[in-house]
Amino acid sequence: MARRPVALIPGRLAALLVALLCLGPLVPLLLAGGGGLAPADWAALRFTLWQAALSAALSAALAVPVARALARRAFAGRAALVALLGAPFLLPALAAVLGLLALFGRGGIVSDALAALGLPRLSIYGAGGVVLAHVFLNLPLATRLLLAGWEAIPAERFRLAATLDAPVWRLLERPMLARALPGTVATVFALSLASFAVALTLGGGPAATTVELAIYQALRFEADFAGAATLALVQYAIGGAAAALAWALAPPPPWGAGRGRPVARWDAGGRLARWGDAAALALASAFLLLPLGAAALRGLAGLAELPAGTGRAALNSLLVALGAALACLVLALPLALRGGALARLAGSLPLAASALVLGTGAALLLRPLVAPSALALPLAALVDGLLALPFAVALLGPAAEEAEARHGRLADALRLGGWARLRLLHLPLLRPALGLSLGLAAALSAGSLGVVALLGGDEATLPLLAARLLGAYRTEAAAAVTLLALLLGLALLLLFDLWGRRAAA
């Protein structure tokens, strides 16, 4: 392995900082919490695990036919569909909620159709709505993870199987799924465990409360710091276990998945297979696109009734997103340049944490000094940046390794070290990965609700404003504000990505 003396010290510092930020909040949580769980808290824990397991199982099961169809069919728009599958990961959870309400809510399109037929209207408040929203948000990710599995099967094997007239499913696909499914399920499970915005807006009572939501309620409803701390410890424990499981089982994030070409298959020519694949793709596209389209339409209609304070909230969201991108970069770059086990470990630490756990820890730490609400926006930026760190390290790490592998010796020979090496060797070669990392961190942050909602204060961000409007049943205005949050996130992602790619060109 290439030695990189330049990066060792900043890398260690960054790892230390990440460890402090992720594990530090445990200290006040342990000091304040540990008071034992009430029966309803146990119920919240059971519901959290149950809904995450169900969301993961449904997402993965539904993803199998979709990924398979994508893996073996060439059609116009395939590239666009695969790209679209990457979008829900960056989608504000509220956009998903609004979309599903517009389609499946009581006043939604499906309910209107049912009512026209004399059937009862649907209601998606409660456990059903929570699981539906999680499947909506995670089916695309599960599909991309499985698609990566299919693409990892060499095309020659399919050809060989065809010549031998061997069963492709039993010999190739089933073993691949046996390898890829556990990681996929574990990843969606971990993501659904930390669900806050969905449970907040669709949960509807003690029967459908996640631990994250219970933390929020303990603090916002009762100013109960001890109760919130105890719940945050529970969330940390299950989040950590799930993240470790996903880390052990899952392949790295499949950013490159779907870029490969579909494999022409001799076993899939039958009419049944063709119709089946077409149905899987059509249903999945409809399930993903119709709610988003409906929410976007509502959002456009609601632009006329944007509330006062939208401009201020947009500015706050922009500042938080840029702050998150910066925080993420400052931590991720030294880790990526250092490389090795320490960087991988530090880079994955935030996977165990959640916005509300870190927010509660920060609130407990700051409370003796200052009202935590006064620092809600900077804390949100820091926490969002930290939560985006694993993705940034996954993007930057390989790029840094490649840069060293290709030009490290030349740089050594030229005695390039320290800043000169960073400026002349790393930054130019890492710029595409840097751009995408900054963009991802900013876009994730622009759609996130957790810390600002928890700590409150006078300053709102776009997602918080949208959540408040949704609470007041101003659905169109909420959709409009969510649309703005989505556009802000997309604009930041595209701008940073463009900046990164311009160097490469």
Partner 1 sequence: MNGRPVRLLPLLLLAAPAMAQERPVLTVLAYDSFVAQWGPGPGIEAGFEAACGCDLRWATGGDGAALLARLQLEGPGEVDAVVGLDDALVARARATGLFAPHGLAPALDLPVAWEDGTFLPFDWGWFAFVGRRGGPMPEGFEDLAASDASVVIQDPRSSTPGLGLLRWVEAAYGDRAGAVWEALADNVVTVTPGWSEAYGLFLEGEADLVLSYSTSPAYHLIAEGDAGYVALPFAEGHLLQVEVAAALAASDAPDLARDFLAYLVSPPAQGLMATGNWMYPAVLPPEGLPEGFESMRPAATLVAPPLSEEAREALVETWRAALSR
Q: Helix 78-85 to helix 127-151 angle, to the nearest 10 degrees?
A: 130
Taking the C-alpha atoms of 210, 214, 215 and 219 in order, what is their torsion angle to the nearest 10 degrees? 160
CB of 90 to partner 1, least distance (A): 28
DSSP three-state, residue 447? coil
- Which residue lies nearer to partner 1 by CB, 444 or 477? 477
CB of 92 to partner 1, least distance (A): 20
What is the smallest separation between the CB atom of 213 and partner 1, expressed in angstroms?
A: 11
Residues 83-122 as x/- pattern, contact with partner 1 by CB under 8 A: -----------------------xx-------------x-
Which three-class secondary structure state does DSSP give residue 1?
coil
Among 472, 494, 498, 504, binds partner 1 (CB under 8 A): 472
CA dist list (Å): 90 to 47, 96, 221, 278, 388: 25, 11, 29, 26, 11
| Distance of alpha carbon 14 from alpha carbon 302, whole angstroms | 44
Stretch that binds partner 1, among 86-94, 248-256, 432-440, 452-460 (CB under 8 A): 452-460
Segment 124-143, which members bind partner 1 (CB under 8 A)? 125-126
Measured CA to CA, the distance from residue 459 to residue 376 in angstroms comes to 8
- Interface of this chain with partner 1, residues 44 to 63, rule: CB under 8 A: 44, 47
Q: Which is nearer to partner 1, 46 or 406 (CB)?
A: 46
Question: Is 455 within 8 Å of 376 (Cβ atoms)?
Answer: yes
Task: Provide the terminal-to-terminal Cα distance of the chain, rounded to the nearest Å.
Answer: 29
Return the residue of 182, 204, 260, 293 that touches partner 1, per CB under 8 A: 204
Residue 226 interacting with partner 1 (CB under 8 A)? no
Q: Total binding residues for partner 1 by CB under 8 A?
A: 35
Distance (Å, rounded) from C-alpha 468 to C-alpha 462? 10
Q: 464 Cβ partners below 8 Å, 6+ apart? A: 313, 449, 452, 453
**Of these, 161, 172, 186, 219, which contacts partner 1 (CB under 8 A)?**
219
- Residues 172 and 160: their CA atoms lie apart, in Å, by 11
Reduced to 3 states (helix: H, G, I; strand: E, B; else coil), residue 484 is helix
- Residue whose CB is less far from partner 1, 219 or 389: 219
Residues of this chain, 338-397, that bind partner 1 according to CB under 8 A: 363, 371-374
Q: Which of 182, 276, 293, 457 binds partner 1 (CB under 8 A)?
A: 457
Report how far residue 438's alpha carbon sits from residue 184's, in angstroms, rounded to the nearest whole number. Answer: 25
Q: What angle do CA 164, 70, 183 make, to 5 degrees?
A: 90
- Give the range of 221-229, 265-273, 437-445, 477-485 binding partner 1 by CB under 8 A: 221-229
Span from 16-24, 43-51, 148-156, 162-170 in contact with partner 1 (CB under 8 A): 43-51
Mutual orientation of helices 340-348 and 310-338 as an angle, nearest 10°? 160
Q: Does 205 bind partner 1 (CB under 8 A)?
A: yes
Nearer to partner 1, 221 or 419 (CB): 221
- Residue 123 binds to partner 1 (criterion: CB under 8 A): yes
Q: Which amino acid is at 284?
A: A
Residue number with CB closer to partner 1 (378 or 456): 456
Binding site for partner 1 (CB under 8 A): 38-40, 43-44, 47, 106-107, 121, 123, 125-126, 204-207, 209, 217, 219-223, 363, 371-374, 455-458, 471-473
